[in-house]
């Protein structure tokens, strides 16, 4: 995986506060914006967690912004961090 472990750990820490059982149930039941258009619920859930945990800030770890990351790199890390809904 291209993302360094310190970045994955930082993501894991940020996401942990938002990955609650109530939120997981809301997604399972389709109680989130534009739920009717979702094709991959687990992907939508992990990316929504990423954006809420990130907030308006860029992902900066130890003063560095990993500039060469693609959405595929981030998704690989998110799959390791966020367990599937079902």
* Calpha distance 61→40 (Å, rounded): 29
Global pTM reads 0.86
- Residue 12 confidence (pLDDT): 93
Q: Is the pLDDT of residue 2 over 80?
A: no
Q: Is the pLDDT of residue 19 over 60?
A: yes
Contact 38, 85 (CB under 8 A): no
61 pairs with which residues across the strands?
64
Give residue-wise pLDDT tens across range 22-75. Answer: 999 999 999 999 999 999 999 999 999 999 988 766 665 555 556 677 888 889
- Residue 42 confidence (pLDDT): 98
Judging by beta carbons within 10 Å of its beta carbon (0-12, 13-18, 19+), is residue 23 exposed, middle or buried?
Answer: middle
């Amino acid at each position: 995986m291209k993302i360094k472990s310190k970045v994955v750990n930082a993501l894991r820490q940020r996401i942990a506060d938002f990955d609650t059982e109530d939120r997981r149930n809301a997604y399972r039941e389709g109680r989130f914006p534009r739920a009717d258009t979702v094709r991959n619920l687990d992907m939508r859930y992990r990316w929504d967690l990423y954006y809420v945990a990130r907030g308006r800030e860029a992902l900066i770890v130890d003063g560095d912004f990993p500039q060469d990351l693609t959405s595929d790199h981030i998704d690989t890390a998110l799959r390791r961090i966020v367990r599937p809904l079902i």
